[in-house]
Chain A
C-alpha cells in the first residue's frame, strides 16, 4: 500500500452535525459489493441454476444431499485453508496431510492391536505436530510458505508411501474394520443420519460446525483480528504487539486439525487407505478459498466464502454426473472457475473501494 498522499482532498476539519449524512449514498448494493463472499455467491447461484436446468435429477433431495456431501469433503479443508490464506500463507501439504493422518491412525491401531480410538488420538497429536512443524519452519526461516510447504508436501508423500510399503508390504493399509472401537469411531467420522427421508452425511455437520467456528474466530475474537493483521501487514501488527509467530503457527495447526477430521473420515468410510491418495487436493482447497474471495496476498477473505467456493465444486462435480456428461471436463471447469472468480473478485473490490 502506497503511503504517498493523494492530491490534497478536502479534509473534514469540523465535526459536522448529523455525522452519517454522507452514508446515505452507500446503498445496500454497494455495501454487499464490499463483502468478500459476493463473487462466490453469485457464482454459486449461477451454477445452481445452470444444473437445475441441465440435469433433471439435480433438484431431487437425494442429489442435493450427495452434492452437499461432496462439498463438505472439500469444504472441511477449505475453511482452515482460507483462514491461513487470510493470514498471508499457503499450505501445499494440506492434501497429503489428510492421507498421512488417516495412515497414522490406521497403522498405529493395526500394528499395536490397540483400540482404534487410540490410533485416532495418536493421529491427532502427530498431525498437529506436522502443522506446528510447518508453522515453526516458516516463522524461523522466514522463507516463503510456498517453499516450506512444498517441501513438507513431498516429504509427506514419500513418507506415506515408504512407511505403508515398509509396514504392510503393499501400497494400502490392512482393513481395521473388525477392530475394537471401529464402529463407534465410524459414528463420529463417517456415519449418516436420515432427516425427513434425506440422508445427511456426518461430514456435513462437521463442515457446518467448522464454518461457524472459523467465522466466529475471524470476526468476533482477538485472534481473528490478529489473523487479518498478520496477513495484511505483519510488521505493523508486530509493532503494536500482535504475537505474529504464534498466530501463524496456530493457523497451520488449524489446517492440521481439519486434515485430521478429513483423514479419519477417509479411514472410517473405507476401513483401508491408499497411501498415494490426496496428492493434488491441496489445490482444490486453495481454489475454493480463492473463489470464496480470499486474496492470494493475504489480509482479506472469509470462511463463509470458502465454504461457498467448496459448494460450487460440490455442485459441479456431481452436477456433471447428473447431467450425464463426461466427467473428464470437471478439471477444465475447475481452472476456468478459478480464473473467472478471481477476476470477478478483483473487479468487485475495485468498484467497492472506488464507491467509498
Chain B
C-alpha cells in the first residue's frame, strides 16, 4: 500500500525529521492506531487525512508527546524516540498547535506570543520582562509571516480565528520548532480565513520546517501538501506523494472510495420510486 518508499528520490535527500513506521497504539483492547507510517521532511508538508474517529488525534498525541506508541518505531532525525511529555517534544523541536488551545483570549498579542518563554532583563529581584523587545519582536515576526497587526497590545481574542491560528504558528516558528504539528487548523474557519491560514502554513514550510497538517478537508490538503497519508478506522488506507495522486482521486479516497461508489450505485437503483409516500402518481 505504501508508495513513499526508501527508493523514492525525494526521501533520499536526507533523514526525515520525524518518521513513524508501522506504529500502533492500543487503549486497552481498542486498536486506536495500527500499522501507520508517516514521514516528515524539512521544507515539506505531510498531510494526515481522515474522517472523525480515524485515529488522527491519536497520531498527533504520539508525535506531541502526550501518548506513547505501543508498537512500531518513532524516530526523530534518525534517532529512536519515546516522548514522555509535551515539554520534551518541544525541547526536541516538535511544536504542536491545537486549534482550541492555542491562545489566552484576554491577553495582548505580544504577551501571548511569548507566553511560557518570556525574555527578561536585569538581575535578582529586579529581573523583569523585556517588554519593549517583546512588542517589537512580536510585530516583526508576525510581519515576516505576512500578518500586519494594527496593534500588538490588543487582546488576542479580538483577532479573527484565522489570525489567532497564524499567531500560534508564528510563535512556534520563532521559538525554533523544526517540526510543526497543526491539528485541524482550518476546521472552524470560513473559506477566506482558511486560505490565509494555509498561506502561513506554506510560509512555515518555506522557512524550512517540516509540517504535519491534520485535516479532513482534501481540498485544503492538496493545495499545500507534499505527502498524503489517509487514515480509516485506525489503519492506513493510503500513502501518496503529490506527484502520484490527483485531487479527484484523493477526494474520492477520502470520501470513502469504493464505499462511496457502492452508495452511488445503490442511490441510482433507488431512483424513480413509484411514489413518495401517500400520493401515488398515475
The verdict on B102 contacting chain A, using a C-beta distance below 8 Å, is yes
Interface of A is mostly: loop
Chain A residues in 8 Å Cβ range of B117: 240-241
Residues A12 and B160 in contact in the complex (CB < 8 Å), given A5-B188, A221-B128: no
Evaluate contact between B196 and A11: CB separation under 8 angstroms: yes
User: How far apart are A233's CB and chain B's nearest CB, in angstroms?
Assistant: 4
User: How far apart are B235's CB and chain A's nearest CB, in angstroms?
Assistant: 29
Instruction: Tell me the complex Cα distance, A224–B114, Å.
Output: 13
Instruction: Tell me the complex Cα distance, A235–B99, Å.
Output: 12
Residues A353 and B98 in contact in the complex (CB < 8 Å), given A5-B189, A239-B86, A241-B116: no
Chain A residues in 8 Å Cβ range of B120: 221-222
Instruction: Tell me the complex Cα distance, A226–B107, Å.
Output: 10
Instruction: Tell me the complex Cα distance, A182–B157, Å.
Output: 53
Interface string of A15-26 (1 = CB under 8 A from B): 110010011001
A356 contacts which of B103, B158, B161 (Cβ < 8 Å)? B158
Q: Name the residue on A nearest B103 (C-beta).
A: A236
Among residues 149 to 183 in chain B, which have CB atoms less than 8 Å away from a CB atom of chain A? Answer: 150-151, 154-155, 157-158, 160-164
Evaluate contact between A225 and B118: CB separation under 8 angstroms: yes
Chain A residues in 8 Å Cβ range of B162: 5, 11
Chain B residues in 8 Å Cβ range of A6: 160-161
Interface string of B70-100 (1 = CB under 8 A from A): 0000000000000000110010000010111
Instruction: Tell me the complex Cα distance, A221–B147, Å.
Output: 27
Chain B residues in 8 Å Cβ range of A19: 139, 143, 148
Instruction: Tell me the complex Cα distance, A221–B118, Å.
Output: 9
Interchain Cβ contacts within 8 Å, total number: 118
Evaluate contact between B101 and A236: CB separation under 8 angstroms: yes
Residues A232 and B105 in contact in the complex (CB < 8 Å), given A3-B99, A12-B148, A15-B143: yes
Q: How many residues of B contact A (CB 8 A)?
A: 49
Chain A residues in 8 Å Cβ range of B118: 222, 225
Chain B residues in 8 Å Cβ range of A15: 143, 146, 148
Evaluate contact between B154 and A356: CB separation under 8 angstroms: yes
Among residues 114 to 133 in chain B, which have CB atoms less than 8 Å away from a CB atom of chain A? Answer: 114-118, 120, 127-129, 131
The verdict on A8 contacting chain B, using a C-beta distance below 8 Å, is yes
Evaluate contact between A237 and B116: CB separation under 8 angstroms: yes
User: How far apart are B221's CB and chain A's nearest CB, in angstroms?
Assistant: 19
Instruction: Tell me the complex Cα distance, A313–B150, Å.
Output: 39
B192 contacts which of A8, A225, A226 (Cβ < 8 Å)? A8
Evaluate contact between B105 and A233: CB separation under 8 angstroms: yes
Chain B residues in 8 Å Cβ range of A8: 190-193
Instruction: Tell me the complex Cα distance, A8–B194, Å.
Output: 9
Interface string of A215-250 (1 = CB under 8 A from B): 010001110111011001101110111100000000
Residues A233 and B103 in contact in the complex (CB < 8 Å), given A220-B129, A221-B128, A356-B158: yes
Chain A residues in 8 Å Cβ range of B223: none
Instruction: Tell me the complex Cα distance, A1–B251, Å.
Output: 33
Interface string of A323-349 (1 = CB under 8 A from B): 000000000000000000000000000
- 4 additional A-B pairs beyond A226-B115, A229-B107, A237-B115, beta carbons within 8 Å, are A23-B150, A220-B129, A225-B114, A353-B158
Binding site for B on A (CB under 8 A): 1, 3-9, 11-16, 19, 22-23, 26, 216, 220-222, 224-226, 228-229, 232-233, 235-237, 239-242, 295, 299-300, 353, 356
Q: 18 A-B residue contacts at CB 8 Å?
A: A4-B161, A5-B161, A5-B162, A5-B188, A8-B190, A12-B147, A15-B148, A23-B150, A221-B129, A224-B129, A225-B107, A225-B118, A228-B104, A232-B106, A233-B101, A236-B115, A241-B86, A241-B87
Binding site for A on B (CB under 8 A): 86-87, 90, 96, 98-107, 111, 114-118, 120, 127-129, 131, 139, 143, 146-148, 150-151, 154-155, 157-158, 160-164, 188-193, 196, 199
